[in-house]
């Protein structure tokens, strides 16, 4: 079963691009009679959806087709050859070279000017843009090659110092960071048949149109044409770098053929272990993940927090939501001591929070958790799946903003307490001789923090806890946490059948009103020992 690319983005993304589209190219020539817009790309996507799918064909020479990852990353863009070096804009463009799995080129165009004066020209492939390091390549090896993707640079941390803030490489994957952040989780343009017992389909961005920013512009706009065996799409992206970098997305998706599952605004991340799941006893890191939970702001106003797992078997969780207000994969916990990794700095990897614009209707937010033995695999996915898809020829419209942030508390309603951490332990009782005895149960500790907790009278807060039929709740206590001025919920459950899943939910209530987000936790099958 192929669910996600078996590599971390962007370093070893194992998906290829489709060749440049020929049909309809005359619509987007060097001279344009009107302002270029999403409508132009949408027309291309609609035309493309009416045509048979043309599978991509590799144009790599053997030297690049057989390249190993260690050699591929030696190919770096020359800073002196960045696009817009000669322009009065703080933005720069660098490009990714074809090679390895990136076997077909993408066409990258530049839009210069506005309105009827806009001019569109392809940014031609040029080997002089790249430093090939110590690779010994014959000149003929790069003949007829092209770009695999592009990167956006901007002085986000220090004035005058360019930092890479966005990477677009592989299928429809992209990553963004804000000030002080390092690359972590990815987003995608579209997901098809993720988490099913059939091969996942990976739509690919085929062509890009990037607007040259005007002097003083603090944002960058570009468009993308997406193609796949069963879907096409037109996209407009508007990137604004900052402490939280914002990416506004407008998507128009056409169905070429029926699909079993369509994922809108998909996110892809990695979770190996953390305090809520037993870790490798030989690993010095207390936690190893790009994200540790799925947050949801439902259309009815409820806030939900679902800690992630690295299960033994594929796990699919669905949250029925009408008109979601937001969802995202978050990295809660910003203390270095929670990760202790100087090399990969998981404490600096951003969360991605998606805020839909307008009503998305009925559907569900789906969480996919895939077993993974190491951190090189993207084993976590989250996306919105609508209950109904439009008929062929009509676009599915999805507009949303992705916030790339390290201020996770700023996302959640400040009038509610949030789950600061979830700890899992073997259930224990204290014997008469004060020695702890493990009784075969599973213990869960949930720390709620913030919101009104510090100001509520003692004893006015009570927990509401529910447990699915496959477990018995044998202990439930709520106690003040004087260190955080929050509340600690202690649960102990006895699992009936370890081969089956257990679902738990908990929230804090005061005066008949929820004063916290809802903690939604899953004990996957085979995650507890059989008694």
Q: What is the 3-state secondary structure (H, E, C) of 319-348?
A: EEEECCCEEEEECCCCCHHHCCCCCCCHHH
Check whether residue 405 and residue 298 sit in a common domain. yes
Label residue 37 by pLDDT band (50, 70, 90): very high
Closest CA to 69 of 113, 7, 124, 117: 7
pLDDT digit string (tens) for 226-263?
999 999 999 999 999 999 999 999 999 999 999 999 99
> According to the model, what pLDDT value does residue 529 have?
74
CB 442, CB 496: distance < 8 Å: no
Q: What is the CATH number of the domain that holds 514?
A: 2.60.40.10
Cα torsion through 107, 126, 187, 205, rounded to 10: 10
Check whether residue 120 and residue 147 sit in a common domain. yes
Which residue range forms the structural domain that includes residue 493? 418-523
| CA–CA gap between residue 509 and residue 524 (Å, rounded) | 27
Per-residue DSSP letter, 102: B
pLDDT digit string (tens) for 499-511?
999 999 999 999 9
Helix (H, G, I), strand (E, B) or coil at 47: helix
| CA–CA gap between residue 314 and residue 472 (Å, rounded) | 24
- Domain count for the chain: 3
The CA–CA distances, whole Å, from 259 to 3, 196, 300, 467, 517 equal 15, 11, 29, 34, 34
| CA–CA gap between residue 370 and residue 311 (Å, rounded) | 7
Check whether residue 52 and residue 83 sit in a common domain. yes
CB 211, CB 111: distance < 8 Å: yes
| CA–CA gap between residue 205 and residue 45 (Å, rounded) | 11
Check whether residue 388 and residue 431 sit in a common domain. no
> According to the model, what pLDDT value does residue 280 have?
76
26 part of a folded domain: no
Instruction: Specify the length of the chain in residues.
Output: 531
Flag whether pLDDT at 299 surpasses 80. yes
CB 492, CB 475: distance < 8 Å: yes
| CA–CA gap between residue 351 and residue 418 (Å, rounded) | 16
> According to the model, what pLDDT value does residue 531 have?
58
Phi, psi values for residue 161, rounded to 5°:
-110, 115
pLDDT digit string (tens) for 347-389?
999 999 999 999 999 999 999 999 999 999 999 999 999 999 9
> According to the model, what pLDDT value does residue 196 have?
92
| CA–CA gap between residue 493 and residue 15 (Å, rounded) | 43
pLDDT digit string (tens) for 452-463?
999 999 899 999
CB 184, CB 404: distance < 8 Å: no
| CA–CA gap between residue 207 and residue 297 (Å, rounded) | 34
The CA–CA distances, whole Å, from 154 to 2, 93, 94, 109 equal 35, 9, 11, 20
Phi, psi values for residue 285, rounded to 5°:
-80, 130
Of 392, 412, 432, which one is at a domain's C-terminal end?
Answer: 412
Which of the pair, 280 or 18, is modelled with greater confidence? 280
What is the percent of the chain where pLDDT is above 70?
93
Flag whether pLDDT at 434 surpasses 80. no
Closest CA to 165 of 106, 91, 249, 223: 91
Label residue 17 by pLDDT band (50, 70, 90): very low
CA atoms within 13 A on the CB side of 144: 7
Check whether residue 238 and residue 130 sit in a common domain. yes
Flag whether pLDDT at 450 surpasses 90. yes
| CA–CA gap between residue 448 and residue 269 (Å, rounded) | 25
pLDDT digit string (tens) for 161-215?
999 999 999 999 999 999 999 999 999 999 999 999 999 999 999 999 999 999 9
Flag whether pLDDT at 16 surpasses 70. no
C-alpha R_g of the chain:
25
> According to the model, what pLDDT value does residue 1 have?
35
Q: What is the CATH number of the domain that holds 215?
A: 2.70.98.10
> According to the model, what pLDDT value does residue 75 have?
96
Looking only at Cα atoms, what is the longest distance across the chain? 87
**Residue 26 neighbours by CB under 8 Å, 6+ apart:** none
Tokens of 103: 């076997």
> According to the model, what pLDDT value does residue 8 have?
39
19 part of a folded domain: no
Flag whether pLDDT at 18 surpasses 50. no
> According to the model, what pLDDT value does residue 34 have?
67
Label residue 68 by pLDDT band (50, 70, 90): very high
Check whether residue 94 and residue 237 sit in a common domain. yes
Check whether residue 104 and residue 148 sit in a common domain. yes
23 part of a folded domain: no
The CA–CA distances, whole Å, from 359 to 322, 386, 398 equal 8, 11, 9
Flag whether pLDDT at 103 surpasses 70. yes
528 part of a folded domain: no
> According to the model, what pLDDT value does residue 26 have?
41
> According to the model, what pLDDT value does residue 419 have?
98
Q: What mean pLDDT value characterizes the chain?
A: 91
């Amino acid at each position: 079963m192929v669910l996600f690319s078996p590599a971390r983005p962007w370093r070893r993304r194992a998906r290829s691009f489709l060749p440049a589209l020929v049909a309809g190219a005359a619509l987007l020539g060097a001279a344009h009679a009107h302002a270029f817009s999403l409508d132009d790309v949408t027309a291309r996507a609609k035309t493309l959806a009416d045509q048979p799918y043309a599978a991509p064909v590799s144009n790599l020479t053997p030297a690049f087709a057989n390249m190993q990852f260690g050699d591929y990353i030696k190919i770096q863009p020359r800073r002196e050859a960045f696009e817009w070096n000669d322009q009065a804009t703080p933005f720069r463009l660098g490009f990714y070279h074809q090679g390895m799995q990136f076997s077909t080129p993408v066409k990258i165009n530049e839009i210069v000017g506005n309105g009827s004066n806009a001019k569109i020209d392809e940014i031609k492939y040029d080997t002089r843009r790249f430093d090939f390091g110590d690779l010994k390549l014959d000149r003929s090896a790069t003949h007829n090659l092209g770009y695999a993707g592009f990167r956006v640079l901007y002085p986000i941390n220090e004035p005058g110092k360019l930092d890479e803030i966005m990477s677009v490489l592989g299928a429809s994957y992209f990553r963004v960071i804000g000030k002080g952040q390092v690359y972590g989780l990815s987003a995608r343009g579209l997901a098809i048949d993720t988490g099913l017992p059939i091969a996942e389909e990976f739509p690919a961005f085929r062509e890009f149109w990037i607007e040259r920013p005007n002097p003083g512009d603090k944002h960058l706009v570009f468009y993308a044409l997406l193609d796949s065996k069963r879907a096409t799409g037109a996209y407009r992206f508007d990137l604004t770098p900052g402490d939280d970098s914002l990416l506004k997305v407008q998507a128009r998706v056409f169905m070429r053929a029926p699909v079993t599952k369509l994922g809108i605004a998909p996110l892809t991340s990695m979770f190996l272990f953390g305090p809520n799941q037993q870790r490798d006893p030989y690993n010095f890191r207390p936690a190893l993940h790009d994200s540790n939970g799925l947050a949801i702001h439902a259309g009815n106003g409820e806030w939900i927090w679902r800690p992630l797992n690295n299960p033994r078997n594929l796990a699919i969780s669905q949250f029925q939501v009408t008109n979601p207000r937001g969802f995202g994969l978050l990295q809660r916990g910003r203390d270095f001591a929670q990760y202790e990794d100087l090399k990969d700095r998981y404490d600096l990897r951003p969360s991605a929070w998606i805020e839909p614009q307008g009503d998305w209707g009925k559907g569900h937010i789906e969480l996919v958790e895939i077993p993974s033995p190491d951190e090189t695999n993207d084993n976590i996915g989250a996306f919105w799946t609508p209950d109904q898809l439009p008929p062929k020829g009509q676009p599915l419209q999805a507009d949303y903003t992705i916030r790339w942030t390290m201020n996770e508390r700023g996302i959640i309603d400040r009038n509610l307490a949030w789950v600061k951490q979830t700890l899992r332990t073997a259930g224990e009782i204290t014997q008469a001789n004060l020695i702890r005895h493990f009784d075969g149960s599973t213990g869960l500790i949930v720390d709620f923090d913030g919101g009104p907790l510090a100001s509520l009278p003692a004893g006015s807060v009570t927990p509401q806890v529910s447990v699915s039929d496959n477990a018995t709740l044998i202990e439930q206590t709520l106690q003040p946490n004087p260190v955080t001025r929050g509340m600690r919920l202690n649960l102990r459950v006895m699992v009936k059948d370890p081969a089956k899943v257990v679902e738990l939910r908990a929230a804090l209530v005061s005066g008949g009103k929820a004063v916290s987000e809802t903690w939604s936790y899953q004990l996957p099958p085979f995650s507890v020992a059989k008694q």
